[in-house]
Each structure stands twice: as C-alpha cells, then as structure tokens.
Amino acid sequence: MPYRICKSFEVENGHMLSKHPDLCKFPHGHSRKIEFVLEADELNEHEMVCDFKVLKEAMCEYLKSYDHALFVNTNDPNFEQLKAAFGERVVSFEDKDPTTEVFAKTIYDEVKKRLAAYVANPHAKYPIGHSVRIRSVRVWETTSSWAEYSEL
C-alpha cells in the first residue's frame, strides 16, 4: 500500500444549481474545505511523500480565485447579468451546474497539471519525485457532506 499525505485548504464561495428542483437553484454559500491526497510508493530521501508546502506553492494562489466567488452554469438565465455585475467573482461552469462533484473534478484536473509542472521544475524549492501522484480531491460542502474525485 502506498504512503499518503493530505493537505487541506478552506475557501468561502457560493453556487447556484439551475437544474436543481428545489432551493439550491438560488444563490447560496458554503464554507468549503478542500482536501488533496497525494501518494507515493516509497518515501523520498527526507522520509516524506513530499513536503506539504508543495501543495501550498502549487495551489494556494489558484484557490484564491475561488474564494468569495459565485459558481454559475453558463446556461443559467441569470449568468450574463451576474457576470456583468460581479466580473471575475463569477466563475463560469460551461454548460454544467457547478455541483460539489463538478468542482472536485475541476480542482483535481488543475492540481494534476500543476503537480506535473512542479515535478518538471528543476528550480523548485521543494523538489518531488516523479512517483508522487494525486490520489484524490475531496471537497466538503458542509461539515457532514463532501464529494470526491479520483482517477485511481
């Protein structure tokens, strides 16, 4: 079984689910915790999967773009008006409702790209080995509800 580490970040944001049959179709917010699980078959020369700071360096600025933002399906009838009013704080989800499941995959895809770039950077402050991989991204919507995405 591989070694695993988890690093969490928190963001405040909202969404509106235009396909939802009930109250979730209206704008509402969440205090979200985002967990990144990395794994490796063996520990590095420092007896670590990698330094936790790798995830902070790779993802912190990116995640700030989601803090105090509103996620909206581009097909929502209010999308253009919201985007015009709030600009970059409205995050577009192309033809999809921005469910927590969709958000988890969006984050997973981004961290996968950023980790690959981090591994390839010979000047990275905290180098990581090629065997380190993203295991999963879990996004908590409330203290009792989460969605997770993984390709493994």
**Span 5-29, pLDDT tens digits:** 999 999 999 999 999 999 999 999 9
The single-letter DSSP state of residue 25 is G
* Element counts in the chain: helices (H) and strands (E): 3, 6
pLDDT (tens digit per residue) in 126-135: 988 889 999 9
Q: Specify the DSSP class assigned to residue 121.
A: -
The 10 Å Cβ neighbour count of residue 150 is: 13
Closest CA to 33 of 151, 148, 115: 148
**C-alpha span between 8 and 37 (Å, rounded):** 9
Task: List pLDDT tens digits, range 64-120.
Answer: 999 999 999 999 999 999 999 999 999 999 999 999 999 999 999 999 999 999 999
Domain ranges of the chain: 3-149
Within the chain, strands assigned E span 3-16, 28-40, 69-73, 90-93, 133-142, 145-149
Architecture of the domain spanning 3-149: 2-Layer Sandwich (3.30)
pTM: 0.94
| DSSP 8-state symbol, 56 | H
pLDDT score at 129:
84
Average pLDDT, the chain: 96
